[in-house]
């Protein structure tokens, strides 16, 4: 449950999402892949210890952060193409 604060009690002005820039996108990719790498390392340790089914369960949790990183990469590539287009026009 999320606790309400004074800033969250008024609904007059919705929050705007942070703008995606190439730099912020790359930071987000790094974060997701760093977390995924830690999970992959833990899964490998489990597999090496003989707990292969637990390792596979852990490895399956990699799907979401890897997908998110790929989506962010696609967005960054699109931003770059749009910036190139607008600078040549």
Residue 5, in any domain of the structure: no
Look at residue 14 and tell me whether its pLDDT is greater than 70: no
> How many domains does one find in the chain?
1
Exposure string of 56-66, with b = 16+ CB inside 10 Å and e = fewer, is eebbeebeebe
Dihedral sign of CA atoms 22, 73, 25, 86 in order = positive
pLDDT range class, residue 17, cuts 50, 70, 90: low
Q: Is the pTM of this model over 0.85?
A: no
Q: Which residue range forms the structural domain that includes residue 75?
A: 19-88
pLDDT above 70 coverage of the chain, percent: 79
Residue 14, in any domain of the structure: no
Residue 27, in any domain of the structure: yes
Residue 3, in any domain of the structure: no
Residue 37, in any domain of the structure: yes
From 30, 38, 25, 18, select the one nearest 71 (Cα to Cα).
25
Catalogue the long-range contacts made by 22-26 (C-beta closer than 8 Å, 24 or more residues apart). Answer: 22/76, 22/79, 22/80, 25/72, 25/73, 25/75, 25/76, 25/79, 26/76
Residue 33, in any domain of the structure: yes
Residue 9, in any domain of the structure: no
């Amino acid at each position: 449950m999320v606790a309400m604060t004074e800033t969250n009690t008024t609904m007059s002005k919705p929050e705007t999402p942070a703008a995606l820039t190439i730099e912020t996108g790359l930071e987000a990719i790094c974060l997701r892949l760093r977390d995924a790498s830690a999970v992959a390392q833990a899964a490998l340790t489990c597999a090496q210890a003989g707990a292969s089914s637990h390792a596979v369960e852990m490895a399956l949790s990699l799907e979401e952060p890897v997908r998110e990183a790929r989506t962010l990469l696609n967005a960054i590539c699109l931003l770059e193409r749009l910036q190139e287009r607008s600078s040549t026009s």
